[in-house]
Structure 1
Amino acid sequence: MCVLEGFKIETIQRNTLSQQVLNHIITMLMEGRLHPGDKLPPETKLMNDFDVSRPVLREALSSLETLEIVKRRPRGGTYINEKVGNSPFRAMLALTINNVSAIIEARMSLELGLVTLAAEKISMEQLDRLKEINRKIEKCVNNDYGALDIEFHRIIAQSVNNPVVEGMIDSLLIAHEKTDSLIPFREREITVEYHEAIYRALKERNPIMSFTEMYRHLSYVREKIMSRTDV
Structure 2
Amino acid sequence: MSTWENGPRGPVRSRGTTRSQELVDRIIELIDQRGLRPGDPLPPEPRLMEEFDVARNSVREALRSLQALGIVEIRHGYGTFVGEASMATLGPSLLFRTRAHSRDGLRGLSDLLEVRQVLETELARKVSGDRKLIEELTGCVERMRDPATAAAADRDFHERICVAAGNELAVELTRLFWNVYRQTETLIGAPTSTTDSLVAKHAKIVAAIESGDGEAIGNAVRQHFDEVRGRISRR
TM-score, length basis structure 2: 0.57
- Residue 181 of structure 1 corresponds to 183
Shift of 1:95: 4.8
Q: Which has the higher strand share?
A: 2
- Residue 160 of structure 1 corresponds to 165
Q: Could you tell me the percent identity over the aligned residues?
A: 17
The match for 2:141 among 125, 134, 137 is 134
- Equivalent residues, number: 180
- Residue 32 of structure 1 corresponds to 25
The 1:212–1:61 alpha-carbon spacing in structure 2 relative to 1, beyond 3 Å, is same
C-alpha contact (below 8 Å) 1:134/1:196 kept by paired residues: yes
The 1:96–1:125 alpha-carbon spacing in structure 2 relative to 1, beyond 3 Å, is same
Which is worse superposed, 198-207 or 182-191? 182-191
1:34-49 aligned within 5 A = 35=28
Shift of 1:149: 1.1
Q: Secondary structure at the match of 2:201?
A: helix
C-alpha contact (below 8 Å) 2:123/2:161 kept by paired residues: yes
Taking the aligned partners of 1:93 and 1:221, their CA distance within structure 2 comes to: 21
Q: Secondary structure at the match of 1:185?
A: coil
C-alpha contact (below 8 Å) 1:93/1:171 kept by paired residues: no
- Superposed CA deviations along residues 189-213 of structure 1, whole A, max 9, x for unmatched, are 2211110110111122222211110
Q: Secondary structure at the match of 1:119?
A: coil
Letter in 1 for 2:126: L
C-alpha contact (below 8 Å) 1:90/1:168 kept by paired residues: no
Taking the aligned partners of 2:150 and 2:23, their CA distance within structure 1 comes to: 37
Taking the aligned partners of 1:223 and 1:79, their CA distance within structure 2 comes to: 46
- Superposed CA deviations along residues 42-87 of structure 1, whole A, max 9, x for unmatched, are xxx9xxx8xxxxxxxxxx999x57xx55546476577662x54xx8
Taking the aligned partners of 2:180 and 2:204, their CA distance within structure 1 comes to: 24
Say whether 1:112 aligns with 2:121: yes
C-alpha contact (below 8 Å) 1:96/1:103 kept by paired residues: no
Q: Which runs of 4+ in 1 moved over 6 A?
A: 89-94
- Superposed CA deviations along residues 137-188 of structure 1, whole A, max 9, x for unmatched, are 11125xx633221110011122223xxx432331122112221333332432
Q: Secondary structure at the match of 1:32?
A: helix
Specify the structure having the higher radius of gyration (Cα): 2
Q: Secondary structure at the match of 1:140?
A: coil
Taking the aligned partners of 2:76 and 2:157, their CA distance within structure 1 comes to: 34
Instruction: Compare relative contact order (CA 8 Å, sep 6+) and give the higher one, 1 or 2.
Output: 1
Structure 1 unaligned residues grouped into runs of 5+: 1-8, 11-26, 50-59
C-alpha contact (below 8 Å) 1:146/1:180 kept by paired residues: no
Letter in 1 for 2:215: I
TM-score, length basis structure 1: 0.58
Structure 2 unaligned residues grouped into runs of 5+: 1-15, 32-41, 46-56, 99-108
Say whether 1:150 aligns with 2:155: yes
Taking the aligned partners of 1:140 and 1:175, their CA distance within structure 2 comes to: 22
1:54-133 aligned within 5 A = 64=68, 68-69=70-71, 71=73, 73=75, 76=78, 81=83, 84=85, 95-97=93-95, 98-99=97-98, 100-120=109-129, 122=130, 124-133=131-140
